[in-house]
C-alpha cells in the first residue's frame, strides 16, 4: 500500500465505498472498515498492518 487511494481500492474490492465529505471522518471510517475486514478473516495480517499504518499517518496530517 502506497497511499490513501490504494486503501480506497482495497475497500472497493469488498464493495465498501467511503465518502462522507470530510477527510478526517473518511479516514476514521476506513480504519473501522479495515479492522472489520481483518477481524472477519478477509484481510491478511500484512495487508491489515500496512493499511492501519498508512491511515494513521494520513490521520496525523
CATH number for position 27:
1.10.287.760
pLDDT for res 13: 94
Q: Please name the residues in contact with 10: beta carbons below 8 A apart, sequence gap of 6 or more.
A: 1, 34, 47, 51
Instruction: Mark the ranges of the chain whose per-residue pLDDT is less than 50.
Output: none
Length of the chain: 61
pTM of the model: 0.89
Q: Rounded to whole angstroms, how far apart are CA atoms 31 and 28?
A: 5
pLDDT for res 32: 96
| Chain mean position to CA 5 | 9
Count of structural domains, the chain: 1
Structural domain containing residue 12? 4-60
Amino acid at each position: 500500500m502506497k497511499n490513501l487511494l490504494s486503501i480506497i481500492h482495497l475497500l472497493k474490492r469488498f464493495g465498501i465505498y467511503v465518502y462522507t465529505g470530510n477527510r478526517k471522518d473518511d479516514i476514521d471510517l476506513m480504519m473501522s472498515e479495515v479492522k472489520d475486514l481483518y477481524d472477519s478473516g478477509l484481510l491478511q495480517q500484512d495487508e491489515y498492518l500496512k493499511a492501519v499504518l498508512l491511515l494513521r499517518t494520513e490521520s496525523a496530517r
